[in-house]
């Protein structure tokens, strides 16, 4: 199979195959629980504001703890860290399920669990992002990133549908118990991995590691640019709120039409990742990243001015394709440019500017739409993204010319983090 599809080559490595299959089950369970939690919170509060507040409690700990989580991921054995975080997540799911079964659930319980789960995720995500690159050869890292993105998209499609069936046929508590069980897939995979013991490294305090990680990133010619691109896309790129506004107020469609618009983005993204799996590792990642970013900005602009539902579907499909390709290249470049000793802290910064700034994008959409209307807001976003891509193409030679296996632009930063 790897001969037919070069992008599947990482699955030939036992450790990565265990990681990937366990993550597929676990992430599907996470989406099942997230869907059920949203439904339950809305039932308990009957308030859009209180429902949205749940998202704030899910996002705030990422800002607060993700960089610390990255420092911890660089200090300890990453497999052991993930065993702790995944086991803790089992407990929170069981607690929620038990509260629902006994009828003692209150909306503030969900807020509290959201904070706990987000805090766990602030340590878990850097651990996962820094572990899997060590499970495959460097030449297959892009393929592994593509497969990771594919499992995220797949679980995102499957999880909510399964949650709806479970809620309707079994009961509202069942998704939480199903998610608790799903964590044992990745826990079992982690335990079954054959990973050589990691030599202990002398380190200073957590604070020194945090400062050292920031210095390391700042000293790089590549990483600050990747983080800046990620931040700009998170704030000014497409989001569900913007698509919803366009569906109702610009295209004049209903909830079914909104679903088709959102699905077209997902379908385009899956096609993009499938293409990367078939192609395999792309050497000139910088050029491909710039090309995909250009397509993203252009299709975003077309969507902004489209008044045809069919043209909007096509534009969003191409946007999803470009977004998946662009995202894979950005992540691959960041992973290749980061030395393993700093990988957790680098990935934690990437998580902060991607996941953490997602809530900011909703705010930006609301403000820009109120001032300039939906078309103006989307045009502004497309223009800013196009400008950033253009600046990288013209001025950032090292990032533009970045190729696989040449992370030469990251200095040793000998004074960083007590290394």
Same-domain status, 75 and 107: yes
Tokens of 279: 């192609």
Tokens of 377: 């807001």
Under DSSP, is residue 196 helix (H, G, I), strand (E, B) or coil? coil
pLDDT value at residue 79:
93
CB atoms within 10 A of CB 310: 8
pLDDT value at residue 385:
96
C-alpha closest to that of 96 among 34, 43, 156: 34
Last residue of a domain, one of 181, 203, 225: 203
pLDDT value at residue 91:
97
pLDDT value at residue 247:
87
State pTM to two decimals: 0.80
Helix 206-219 × helix 48-75 angle, to 10°: 90
Residue 373 is assigned to a structural domain of this protein = yes
Same-domain status, 310 and 263: yes
Residue 411 is assigned to a structural domain of this protein = no
Q: With contact defined as beta carbons under 8 Å apart, do 317 and 267 qualify? A: yes
Instruction: Give the domain CATH number at 342.
Output: 1.20.1250.20
As to burial, measured by CB atoms within 10 angstroms (0-12 exposed, 13-18 middle, 19+ buried), residue 367 is exposed
pLDDT value at residue 393:
92
Residue 413 is assigned to a structural domain of this protein = no
Q: What is the pLDDT of residues 3-22, one digit of tens each?
A: 558 889 999 999 999 999 99
Q: Which segments of the chain have a pLDDT < 50? A: 1-2, 200, 202, 406-419
pLDDT value at residue 266:
83
pLDDT value at residue 361:
74
Expressed as residue numbers, the domain containing 99 is: 7-203
CB atoms within 10 A of CB 277: 17
Last residue of a domain, one of 187, 203, 219: 203
pLDDT value at residue 170:
92
Q: How far is CA 369 from the centre of its chain?
A: 26
pLDDT value at residue 288:
93
Q: What does DSSP assign to residue 405?
A: T
């Amino acid at each position: 199979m790897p001969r037919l599809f070069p992008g599947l080559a990482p699955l030939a490595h036992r450790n990565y195959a265990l990681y990937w299959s366990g993550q597929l089950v676990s992430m599907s369970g996470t989406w099942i629980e997230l869907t059920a939690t949203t439904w339950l919170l809305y039932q308990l509060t009957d308030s859009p504001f209180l429902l949205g507040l749940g998202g704030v409690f899910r996002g705030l700990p990422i800002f607060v703890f993700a960089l610390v989580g990255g420092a911890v991921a660089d200090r300890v054995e990453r497999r052991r860290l993930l065993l702790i975080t995944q086991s803790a997540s089992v407990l929170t799911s069981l607690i929620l399920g038990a509260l629902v079964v006994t009828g003692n659930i209150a909306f503030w319980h969900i807020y509290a669990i959201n904070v706990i789960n987000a805090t766990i995720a602030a340590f878990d995500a850097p651990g996962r992002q820094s572990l899997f690159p060590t499970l495959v050869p460097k030449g297959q890292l892009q393929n592994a990133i593509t497969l990771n993105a594919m499992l995220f998209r797949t679980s995102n499609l499957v999880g909510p549908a399964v949650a709806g069936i479970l809620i309707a046929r079994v009961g509202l508590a069942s998704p939480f118990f199903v998610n608790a069980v799903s964590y044992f897939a990745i826990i079992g995979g982690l335990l079954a991995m054959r990973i050589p013991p990691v030599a202990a490294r002398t380190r200073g305090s957590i604070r020194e590691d945090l400062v050292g990680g920031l210095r390391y990133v700042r000293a790089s010619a590549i990483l600050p640019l990747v983080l800046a691109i990620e931040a700009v896309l998170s704030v000014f790129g497409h989001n569900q709120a913007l698509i919803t506004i366009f569906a109702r107020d610009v295209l004049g469609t209903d909830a079914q039409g909104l679903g088709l618009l959102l699905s077209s983005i997902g379908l385009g993204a899956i096609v993009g990742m499938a293409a990367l799996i078939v192609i395999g590792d792309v050497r000139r990642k910088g050029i491909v990243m710039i090309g995909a970013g250009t397509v993203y900005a252009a299709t975003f602009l077309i969507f902004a001015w489209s008044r045809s539902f069919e043209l909007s579907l096509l534009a969003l499909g191409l946007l999803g394709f470009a977004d998946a390709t662009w995202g894979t290249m950005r992540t691959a470049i960041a992973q290749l440019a980061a030395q393993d000793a700093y990988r957790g802290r680098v990935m934690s910064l990437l998580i902060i500017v991607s996941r953490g700034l997602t809530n900011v994008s909703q705010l930006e959409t609301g403000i820009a739409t109120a001032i300039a209307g939906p078309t103006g807001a989307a045009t502004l976003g497309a223009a800013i993204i196009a400008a950033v891509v253009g600046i990288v193409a013209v001025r950032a030679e090292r990032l533009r010319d970045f190729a696989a296996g040449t992370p030469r632009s990251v200095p040793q930063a000998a004074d960083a983090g007590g290394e």
